[in-house]
Amino acid sequence: MADHVTFGAGCAGRLFLPESDSGRVPCVVLCHGFSGTMDRLFPHAEAFAAAGLAALVFDYRNFGESAGEPRQFVDIDGQQEDIRAAVTFVRGHGRVDPDRILLWGNSLGGAHAINVAAHAPHIAAVVAQIPYNGFPRKVEGRSAWATLRLQGAILWDALRGRLGLSPYYIPMIGAPGELAVTATAEAEQHIRTLAGEEAQTLWRNDVAPRAFLRMARYRPAPERLRAPLLVCIAAQDHETPEEKTRVLAERAPNGELKRYPGTHFSFYTDPAIRDKALSDQIAFFAESTSG
């Protein structure tokens, strides 16, 4: 069971606590990726709680159950503020040890976790799973025409934003050849991952593409990180490819890299890979907080 919580700029979340009343415990704040919602991270939070850690999952502003307008707009700076608000919230919780706060981030959330922790000396450790570190030079399966269409949608939506108009939404997931953020042969698998098979889900298959203008200039800064960093990557990841992600562990003063089989989506769609990564991450967090 998890407690429904709110904090910050109208952020909604769930706080998972260990069943045993063992006093104050470390707490993992989980930061999901681009357009994600907290319900896709419930299994991860449950695994951390079963291992004796508290775990907070939440929706960023403009997404899911959280407040904020325009909807489905990825506000890079605002999301970092939401993570800082989440950290402040759990540090004040009676079951949480304020000196053992951990950040876990997936994809774009991995970049956020690194950058937030770099300016928060009380963060004990960071896990960045398939972390964003800039766009790949070439997106597999996307033609030059499809790239031009996507760039046109980004610029049109950005112009609408400057004029104070509602967003020009495009699908997050589409079939190959369609106008969408992700339009590859794995699109069907990806949409099952994010939306799930349940009738009810917080995730929506649309997004305001103006966010990509800010993302193009956004990078994690692991060299500023004092806390231990574990970077988990996938061998066949085309969205956050290995040549971009492994350098984050190499540049961190106390970085570690673990490599797993599969694609960008395997950490969600393949239970064996997800469970192995979670086991490694729990061990990493335990070692980082044992002192």
Residue 246 sits in a domain whose CATH number is: 3.40.50.1820
Q: 28 has which bridge partners?
A: 55, 102
Residue 159 maps to a domain: no
pLDDT < 50 stretches in the chain:
199
Phi, psi of 93 (to 5 degrees): -80, 140
In a domain, 184, yes or no: no
pLDDT given at position 291: 66
Could you list the residue range(s) of the whole structural domain that residue 80 is in? 2-139+220-289
Q: State residue 104's pLDDT score.
A: 98
148 is a domain residue = no
Which of 78, 74, 32 lies closest to 55 in space, CA to CA? 32
pLDDT on residue 138: 67
Report the length, in residues, of the chain. Answer: 291
Report the C-alpha gap between 270 and 255 in whole angstroms.
Answer: 26
Tell me, yes or no, whether 276 lies in a domain.
yes
Structural domain includes residue 157? no
For 175, other C-beta atoms within 10 Å of its C-beta total 13
165 falls within a domain: no
Structure confidence at residue 234 (pLDDT)? 95
Tens of pLDDT along 211-257?
999 999 999 999 999 999 999 999 998 889 999 999 999 999 999 99
Could you give the CA distance from residue 20 to residue 11 in angstroms, rounded to a whole number? 27
Residue 89: how many CB atoms within 10 A of its CB? 21
Residue (of 224, 219, 233, 182) closest to 76 by Cα position: 219
Structural domain includes residue 208: no
User: The tokens 């997004």 sit on which residue?
Assistant: 207
Count of C-beta atoms within a 10 Å radius of residue 122: 12
Report how many domains make up the chain.
1
Q: What is the model's pTM?
A: 0.94
The pLDDT score that the predictor gives to residue 144 is 81
pLDDT at 26: 97
DSSP state of 197: S
- The verdict on residue 50 lying in a domain is yes
